[in-house]
Structure 1
Amino acid sequence: MNVFFVCGAPKSGTTWLQRVLDAHPEVMCSGEGHFIGRFTVPLAEVIRKYNAALVTEATRVYEGRPYYGQIDQAEFDELARAFILRRLTSRGPGPQVRWVGDKTPRYALHLDALHRLFPQARVVYIVRDPRDTLMSRVGHAVRANMADAVEPGSERRLQVMRTGVEDWARNVRPIAPFAAAHPGLVHRLRYEDLLADPHGETRRLFGFLDVAADAPTVEAVVSATSFEAQSGRSPGEEDLSSFLRKGVAGDWVGRLEPEALAMLEETCGELMRENGYV
């Protein structure tokens, strides 16, 4: 079974991308497994303590001749890989499924660890204008019972945006170096391009995985995963109570405070231009 991982800065369209992939009959894309941050990182600490206890007991009980050796990196990776594969296939992929994957936005921070566990795994990465991700984060804050986040200039709003600026840079920065070091393993797409040309971008995405990308398949997936189909609303019709808030690009225009734009330029300016956002 082929494995892939989907990532991108939070509020960049990763859930939409997951649904596009999962709608293809040869692909199963789940989310959010957080396999590195919530499993292998804590597991590494468990293994460290286990190995330390083995040393102590070998010294105190067996005169330095333990029955069990230390768990090394290879055995650790074997344990982690088995767990992740079991989770990736826990939905019971049918015989037609050729790819199983997981969408967790912050995998962008753990690409080297994922590559060590799955050297042939592919990475699908989506990037979005950070100015729009800030507006999306404000909307998400309202859903999280922080209503004052919508008030222009409020401390809560600026705090949400400050976190968003740092998060965008942190999750975007590792992609280009990883892609350069591992040619052919990364497919990058932009949220705005997926909005403007869903058929073309979806066809290219499926081509990256070498699965069926014929017109009927692409049309079926695009129709099933459009903003209208998923939310029951037209793009631009905002609902702050919904995870699918608005479904448009350029929502930031005329709505971001100078303080937010200044924070973006200072922290993300170069990265924004590298990704085509000016």
Structure 2
Amino acid sequence: MGAPDRPVFVIGCPRSGTTMLQLMLHSHPRIAVPPETRFLIQAYHARRSHGDMRRPDNRRRLAQWVAGGRDTKFRELGLDRAEYVQHAVAAPGTLGSVLGTVFRDYAARFGKPRWGDKRPSYFKHVGMLLRLFPDAQFIHLVRDGRDCVASLMEMPWYRLDAYHAMANWAEAVDFGRHHAATLPGGSYYELRYEDLTADPEQSLRRLCGFIGEEFDPAMCEPRHVAQVAVPAHKVWHANTHSAVTTARSGSWAGRLEPWQISLCETVLGSRLEAHGYELSGAAPATRDHRLAYRTTAARRRAARLKRTGRERLSRLWEPGPIPALLTTGQRALSGLPPLPQHQLVESS
């Protein structure tokens, strides 16, 4: 049995510590996890316009969009644009292979054989990611919802209100329950932010067991790679440049307004307790606040169902094969032999 090469995706509600976990994984000598990118979801949903990836000219056009798009975040990976395009054209002719080559090139930049990716909102897109990378593993980081809401409300990029922040956390937890119940064994792992920060070594040892890697002590000191793997302009990730600490756990008590605490514990209480978080005993939320939350949650659910319907329709016609053919598991699922160990890309 060869060394594991399955992609690893870090998911969870925004502000749940996923960047810290990204850096912990990136500190491993075999795994590279880049800063957040913005091309996987967009490329997948636009797959009809990108055409059949069995055609080299289509692979080239897609790779050029990834490498040159204004919003793809490719420039933050430190990769040579022309070199990636060349590798993508030479990659197997599937959508996942062209997109996965970005991450494979990023891992090669650090001399590592295995890659991961982190974007909190991926918890809504696990099905899509499995279509692209059918051997993927998912690590879901859960944090006290009250801390997540408090942190979200302080972010300069967060434009929504507290009702949306609470609904976002509820969705992340609910999707997590669904994934835990439906994904194949060895594909989904859940851990709490509070446990990870209280005892990094023990938590990371267990996590390494899940992904099939040996624990490395460097993983407990993620600040040493923050300068490389966290873009300087993301000042809201400043804490990643410091030692792992429990100081922010439970800080919601001094950061949320009383009505927000009441509403969090009223509408999220059962989920909080299910994950081991103790409620403060705040007074029940007012009727108006409960109604505003339910309205927000219903609108978000309706929008999600609409997107799901569009996705089902789009699957009725797809221009070419979707799953990547870059790792041992991906190729085995397609009945193909593994790539040579030294080979980063393969001609179609």
- The answer on 1:22 being equivalent to 2:29 is no
CA drift at 1:230: 5.6
2:40/2:99 contact within 8 Å kept: no
CA drift at 1:95: 9.3
- Aligned pair partner of 1:120 in 131, 135, 139: 135
Q: Tell me what 2:161 maps to.
A: 160
Superposed CA deviations along residues 216-249 of structure 1, whole A, max 9, x for unmatched, are x22x2213438xx969xxxxxxxxx643359520
CA drift at 1:212: 1.7
SS of residue paired to 1:120: coil
CA drift at 1:81: 0.6
CA drift at 1:265: 3.2
The one-letter amino acid paired with 1:243 is H
- The answer on 1:251 being equivalent to 2:266 is no
Q: Tell me what 2:174 maps to.
A: 173
| CA–CA distance in structure 2, aligned partners of residues 186 and 250 of structure 1 | 26
1:197–1:186 distance in 2 versus 1, CA, 3 Å: same
SS of residue paired to 2:25: helix
| CA–CA distance in structure 1, aligned partners of residues 238 and 122 of structure 2 | 22
The one-letter amino acid paired with 2:209 is G
Q: Tell me what 1:82 maps to.
A: 97
1:18–1:224 distance in 2 versus 1, CA, 3 Å: closer
Identity of aligned residues (%): 30
TM-score (normalised: structure 2):
0.57
Q: Tell me what 2:124 maps to.
A: 109
Q: Which runs of 5+ in 2 are unaligned?
A: 52-92, 228-234, 240-244, 279-348
CA drift at 1:125: 0.9
Q: Which runs of 5+ in 1 are unaligned?
A: 48-77, 147-155, 232-240
| CA–CA distance in structure 1, aligned partners of residues 226 and 35 of structure 2 | 17
Superposed CA deviations along residues 24-75 of structure 1, whole A, max 9, x for unmatched, are 001111232344432212335666xxxxxxxxxxxxxxxxxxxxxxxxxxxx
How many positions carry a matched residue from both structures?
222
The one-letter amino acid paired with 2:258 is P
The one-letter amino acid paired with 2:117 is D
Superposed CA deviations along residues 9-35 of structure 1, whole A, max 9, x for unmatched, are 000001000000001001111232344
1:181–1:242 distance in 2 versus 1, CA, 3 Å: closer
Q: Which moved more, 1:242-251 or 1:98-107?
A: 242-251
**CA RMSD of superposed structures (Å):** 3.0
1:126–1:173 distance in 2 versus 1, CA, 3 Å: same
- The answer on 1:201 being equivalent to 2:195 is no
1:44–1:266 distance in 2 versus 1, CA, 3 Å: farther
